[in-house]
Amino acid sequence: MAQLDSCTFDNIPSWLTRYRSGQTVFAEGETANRIFRVESGCIRLQVNGSDGVRQIISFVFSGEFFGCSADDQSFSAEAVSATILRCWSTRSMLSCGARSVDVAIALINFANAQVSEMAHHLEKVSHLTATARVRWFLSNMRNREDLCKHSGRLDLPMTRRDIADYLSLSAETLSRTIQELEGEGFLQRAGRRGVWLRGQTPQPGIKEAQQCSPASPDDN
């Protein structure tokens, strides 16, 4: 999800709301009247298939925006964990965008980043094996420093089922894949939501200090 320049919106009135784990922020089809930024916690955006199967489109983390629409919401939003959101009125945001180039461009950029993310999500989910999907997901997650309380240790806010629905895998396959990656030394499970990442997948850009791990002998 897009990083909007927060300063751009500082002059527009906003307020805070609080959600419990699992609570719905808005549902698909609902009229969009607010834009949100995650202050703390995590939100999942999802569409529900006709057969009740759920596809998670995106996880939204601290500092990121969602819900920007001038029409109806095209997906629903639910809290993955206890979450605090900052809200703006869509109306005031748009009318401000009509007066300020910065705001208008920020909104366009935001929407475009969303499209970009989804396009690549679709590409990954369609063409990668289960193992590659999980590696891709974890590599994305490790770049969010707010999830890494300790170096290399990921504390994921979402359940296995959430991850499975994000990657279009069954929960069983996801579990087996994680087990397999643990056998390879790529990761180590720590409780139900925690993961120690060992394999230093060279991410584009940042590479942070690893602890005592030897350079991964296995291939990527």
Chain residues in the site for DNA (CB under 7 A): 129-131, 159-161, 168-176, 178-179, 189, 191-194
174 contact choice in DNA, its own copies, none (CB below 5 to 8 Å, kind-dependent): DNA
Residue pair 77/66 in contact (Cβ under 8 Å)? The answer is yes
Using CA atoms, how far apart are residues 168 and 126, in angstroms rounded to an integer?
9
Return the residues of window 128-157 that contact its own copies according to CB under 8 A. none
CB of 136 to DNA, least distance (A): 12
- For 113, counting Cβ atoms within 10 Å of its Cβ (0-12 exposed, 13-18 middle, 19+ buried), the class is middle
Q: Would you say 100 or 159 has its CB closer to DNA?
A: 159
Is there binding between residue 199 and its own copies (CB under 8 A)? Answer: no
Provide φ and ψ at 76, rounded to 5°: -105, 160
The answer for residues whose C-beta is within 8 angstroms of residue 219's C-beta and 6 or more apart is: none
Type and span of the H or E element at 59:
strand 54-61
Q: Is the dihedral of CA 213, 218, 219, 220 positive or negative?
A: negative
Neighbour count for residue 150 (Cβ, 10 Å):
11
37, 44, 121, 198: residue in contact with its own copies (rule CB under 8 A): 121
Among 3, 31, 116, 211, binds its own copies (CB under 8 A): 116
Closest separation in Å from C-beta 181 to its own copies: 19
| 3, 17, 27, 120: residue in contact with its own copies (rule CB under 8 A) | 120
Structure tokens at 131: 């193992």
Is residue 69 within the footprint of its own copies (CB under 8 A)? yes
- Residue 131 interacting partner from its own copies, DNA, none (CB closer than 5 to 8 Å by kind): DNA
| CB closer to its own copies, 55 vs 89 | 55
Partnered with residue 16 across adjacent β-strands are: 86
User: Is the Cβ–Cβ distance between 125 and 133 less than 8 Å?
Assistant: yes
Residues at the interface with its own copies (CB under 8 A): 45, 47, 49-51, 53, 55, 57, 68-71, 74-75, 94-95, 97-101, 104-105, 107-109, 111-116, 118-127, 168, 205
